[in-house]
Amino acid sequence: MDRRVDDNTNPSLPELDELESVVVRFAGDSGDGMQLTGAQFTASTALAGHDLSTFPDFPAEIRAPAGTTFGVSAFQINFGSDRVLTAGDEPDVLVAMNPAALKVNIDNLRQGGLVVVDTGSFSARNQKKAGYESNPLEDDSLSGYRVMRLDITAYTLEAVKQFGLSNKDALRCKNMWTLGLMLWMFGRQRKPITEWLKTKFGKMPEVAKSNIAALNAGHAFGETAELSSDLKRYEIRPAHLEPGTYRTVTGSQSLAWGLVAGAQCAGLKLMFGSYPITPASTLLHLLAAMKQFGIVTFQAEDEISAICAAIGASFAGSLGVTSSSGPGIALKTEAMGLAISTELPLIIVNSQRGGPSTGLPTKTEQSDLYQAIYGRNGDSPLPVIGTRSPGDCFETAIEAVRIATKYMTPVILLSDGYTANAAEPWKLPDLESLEKFPTQIVETPPEEGEHFNPYERDPETLSRPWAKPGTPGLEHRIGGLEKSYETGHISYDADNHQKMTDTRMAKIAGIAADIPPQEVFQGTEGGEMAVVGWGSTFGPIDQAVHRARDKGLDVSHIHLRHLNPFPSNLEGLLKSYKKVLVPEMNTGQLMTVLRDRFLLEAVPLNKVEGQPFKIREIEGAIANVLNGKGAAS
């Protein structure tokens, strides 16, 4: 067995333990259990009191051919003592379980970073499959990195030999061996993971024992004397988080719980209609497992049926919610128009992914903003709000429910693949203190001889009354045809259509007065430059602005939750800066909308590589724009 460990560290680079945070990336074949390893490492990291952020990065294929580059699955975690808002630019440590994982990920590793490779998987065949002409472990292609060549395959087989598993099952424990090594490297506890393994494999004690043995063996390996000079135990100071009780939460979890909390605040039953699509399906899975809340989940035959069932549920007095990703949202478009025309509350969650068409199902992008704001036939306005991080999904979902029910309107909630899958520490909210907004469902029939008019609007909100089937005296008919402003009956009258169109626009525009004024997240009101973002670019923008301000630059960070309508003070606020930089994971959609609404000269910074922004990309753009150049120069 090859126990040689090389150290090619460039001495001028900082040691890992001097960094504010450490980024570890686990990469392997999709069948190697990398997501599981990453999730367990995340849990142990949170338990150690570190701030963290994760980024699962997996292939679209369920089981791509083993050993190929397109079958590589990875999980990245950034944890540290300072506030951690992104999953990190460049990994400091890369764990590569096979040649393909090395090939795909090595270019991202920080120069001087540590790469741990399983030499047992570096057969000539696997190297060829990954596209290597010669063995990268033997030529100089890894100079510039610290390389740990470990025969993880052999160590794992040795560690689990006594339990008599088949070779295939024994090899499945490789991920736990690796996790054990990483736990040792970063001073993490093994106990929560061994407990978890015992529960997970409760019915298969041999499998549980094998996994625990592999975990312990990996951990023990790290402790062996002959490696200690090369593998430091990195101690990281716990993060300075606000006092409170915390847990890690993924965007999907926090969104699911936010929807449940929102429905409770509104006093409504939740009905969730959805059709499986990556990366949005997790929300369906989570809500389907919460039936004790009275939640009805419906896996529809298609995206159209999913939204239509949600609309039907809202018509019948529940809170209808549907969820999808870009292409699925496109299919729901006609039904959104119906919800706008019939003025029924509805939440549409879009976990955005790379587009157009099927695009990049498992990669993140925020290129559906136009679709959300403009993408329907007719003049069909609806509120659009965006969530900035996994934990933020909770509040955003509640806000979506508040607007939808108060204004009797569909609301689009924009999330993305990154936010849905990523995890971060989340301070548990005090649910008792959440502001209730009970829905005013009409139950009183009109006076004798009077008719119930389903379009008799509240003069302040312009919202129409919600009467649900089952209520005597409030029988009414609605539909997608234009309605008379006065009676709610079908009307083809030209003046009436003008008035109804104007009213629908005014109702949505009026929401601007009912949302919080836009705040400056970091920096000052007015100044040289504002960096304006929305959605999951929050983390890298915040870090980049933080670094720029540390250097003394006059830069502020503004992050939008409300994308349509905008907060009423936004125009004045943005015009108080000399320059506005808009980083987006699209080709400039928010920038166009800002120009459209405010005739604002904004500078775009765009990236559509299926990956989140790196901090230094935004940092560089800030410097460029301040120097009078384009963002990307």
- Residues from 572 through 631 that contact other proteins (CB under 8 A): none
Q: Which of residues 49-68 bind other proteins (CB under 8 A)?
A: 49
Q: Within its chain, how far is the Cα of 354 from the centroid? A: 13
DSSP structure class, residue 523: S
**375 phi, psi to nearest 5 deg:** -80, 50
Residues 317-336 that bind other proteins (CB under 8 A): 317-318, 320, 334-335
**What does the per-residue mask of binding to other proteins show for 87-126, with x meaning CB under 8 A?**
----------------------------------------
CB atoms within 10 A of CB 624: 17
Strand-pair partners of 604: 582
Which residue, 305 or 463, is less far from other proteins as judged by CB? 305
| 466 is a site residue for other proteins (CB under 8 A) | no
Q: What is the dihedral of CA 257, 263, 268, 269, to 10 degrees?
A: -20
Cα–Cα distance measured from residue 246 to residue 207, given in angstroms and rounded to the nearest whole number: 32
Shortest CB 499 distance to other proteins, Å: 19
Site for other proteins in 163-202 (CB under 8 A): 192
Query: 208 vs 287, which CB is nearer to other proteins?
Result: 287
- Which one among 205, 378, 446, 572 touches other proteins, defined by CB under 8 A? 446
Residues 6+ apart with CB under 8 A from 398: 258, 261, 262, 265, 434
In angstroms, what is the minimal distance from the CB of 169 to other proteins? 27
Element (H, E) at 412: strand 410-416
Which residue number, 236 or 580, has a Cβ lying nearer to other proteins?
A: 236
Identify residues 199-228 at the interface with other proteins (CB under 8 A).
none
Considering only the stretches 207-215, 269-277, 517-525, 544-552, report the one whose residues sit in contact with other proteins under the rule CB under 8 A.
269-277
Q: Is residue 356 reached through a cis peptide bond, with omega within 30 degrees of 0 on the bond before it?
A: yes
- Nearby residues of 404 by Cβ (< 8 Å), 6 or more positions away: 319, 345, 346, 347, 383, 410, 411
Min dist. Cβ of residue 303 to other proteins (A): 10
- Interface with other proteins, residue 436, by CB under 8 A: no
Residues 6+ apart with CB under 8 A from 602: 532, 574, 580, 581, 582, 591, 594, 595
Among 423, 474, 544, 615, binds other proteins (CB under 8 A): 474
Q: Pattern of binders to other proteins over 276-315, x per CB under 8 A? A: --------------xxxxxxx-x-xxx-xxx-xxxxxxxx
Nearest distance from C-beta of residue 58 to other proteins, angstroms: 23
Q: Should residue 479 be labelled a site residue for other proteins when binding is judged by CB under 8 A?
A: yes
Contact 190, 149 (CB under 8 A): no
Minimum gap (Å) between residue 48 Cβ and other proteins: 9
Residue list 508-567, contact with other proteins (CB under 8 A): none
Q: How many residues bind other proteins (CB under 8 A)?
A: 80
Beta bridge partners of 76: 25, 55
- As measured in angstroms, the least distance from the Cβ of 289 to other proteins is 9
Q: Are 607 and 613 in contact (CB under 8 A)?
A: yes
Which residues ranging from 122 to 161 are in contact with other proteins (CB under 8 A)?
none
